[in-house]
Structure 1
């Protein structure tokens, strides 16, 4: 039997980057996969549900459609999110509300709507995409870091609330080679220098790939990880824990 056979997984933000890689990984391991995103998914074999996670009615309708289509829901991957650049004074109140509404409250909306279905599953799991910047201070990421710090705390609190019924974990990627990072680099005055700086702050000397993050998400979602809950798994090339001189790399 395949690892995820007969299980249904939902991936938010699943049309690109880490979300798309996660959808592929779960499909390859036998799951039925639904993707919630504002942009269409190009991944064959998934059920695409257009949804805006800043809107509770949109989220509720999408999850209802998933359950009606597959008959169940076992796994939720809260991956949808947006970035933000700048120090604490760089973004106005509206931008803080916009990012926190999507990254934090959006995760709450999806989790809240999915819980009644997850609580009926014998293999219920939630995996949140957090970030290593929730733990490591890096320049020009105040708002984004704050949003991911909230996801870290939310993961642990939800794991405690539903222990024994729903496993709740998070993956903390380092700087990942995703479309958002590519757009960030495209907007830099010197894109090559900006990429070099992002790469050099990772002890392994390269960016994390979307597939590497997806593999970690699949591990935490797997019924084989039945005793893993309240875990914050770093997939960061050593960024969070290592201090390696450049000459040693």
Structure 2
């Protein structure tokens, strides 16, 4: 491969934010591989089939990229989905599956890539978290927990890998108009005390998401961040969500959580 081109890996790159990130990275001159279960890569992007929750599949895919290209310079860990419903009514299997993909899937890919980055003393990792990771949303409890865990993972990992020339950050998107909304696994807790509140909450979420930022704009932002060698460890996307992130630090937690509750838990 050309020494002038960076090799990038994007998980969940067959749709939504991941697809747009992969496309933007190709436009910036990168050789891009997307890892997903669906063989539907955008033009100019190489597809490798891998379920990020399967450690063996992930390791095989990363080794195949190393075999072809000799290096991996950028990892964008984007694969994920959301569930909604009341915590009390959520089955353990569903909450575990949420963490298995969003958190442990991220960990599987990072652990597969790190030895190759460490060997070369350079690399860039970008993980997709969420504003919900710093302002947890009722009735999206397990999604919020998974994204908060990613932010904590990134902050801890930053100090572990700093001596090896590798940098890591988490991006915090807010509402994005993607297929994520339709793919959400919903439990309206029918015939329970929660049912009407869950329905109202999810309706607010979906209205905001469908009117949110375009995935193209989000993907361009993430790609730009991935090309940079360094940045702040947690980066919100878009002016309004940057303001929300700042307010979440300035306001007393009791007040910020009350405001979130008034919006999503009535």
TM-score band (shorter)? 0.7 to 0.9
1:32-79 residue CA offsets vs partner (Å, 9 max, x unmatched): 000100011231221210001111110100101111112211111100
Q: Is the contact between residue 207 and residue 237 of structure 1 (CA under 8 Å) also seen in structure 2?
A: no
> Superposition RMSD on alpha carbons, in Å?
2.7
2:240 to 220, 238, 241: 238
TM-score using structure 1 length: 0.83
User: Which residue in the other structure is 1:144 paired with?
Assistant: 143
Alignment partners' CA distance in 2, 1:111 and 1:17 = 21
Name 1:226's counterpart in structure 2: 229
Q: Is contact 2:13-2:41 (8 Å) kept? A: no
Partner of 1:88: 87
Q: Quick check: 1:74–1:123 contact (8 Å CA) kept in 2?
A: yes
| Structure 2: gaps (5+ residues) | 189-199, 248-258, 260-266
Partner residue of 1:211?
216
CA displacement at 1:218 relative to structure 2:
1.5
- Going by fraction, where is helix more abundant, 1 or 2? 2
1:218-247 Cα distance to aligned partner (Å, 9 max, x none): 22211xx3342x52111155242469xxxx
Work out the CA distance in 1 between the residues paired with 2:221 and 2:162: 21
Q: Which has the larger radius of gyration?
A: 2
Which residue matches 1:129?
128
Change (3 A) 1:197 1:96: closer
Q: How far 1:185 sits from its partner (Å)?
A: 11
Count of aligned pairs between the two proteins: 231
**Partner residue, 1:112:** 111
**What do residues 182-211 of structure 1 show as CA deviations (whole Å, max 9, x unaligned)?**
3459999xxxx9898347768xx9402212
Structure 1 alignment gaps of length 5 or more: 244-249
Q: Secondary structure at the match of 1:127?
A: strand
TM-score if structure 2 supplies the norm length? 0.78
C-alpha separation in 2, matches of 1:122 and 1:5 = 17
1:246 — aligned with what? Answer: none
2:171 — aligned with what? 171
- Which stretch of the first structure deviates more once superposed, 140-149 or 206-215? 206-215
Describe the SS at the equivalent of 1:177.
Answer: coil
Cα 1:185–1:88 shift into 2, 3 Å: closer
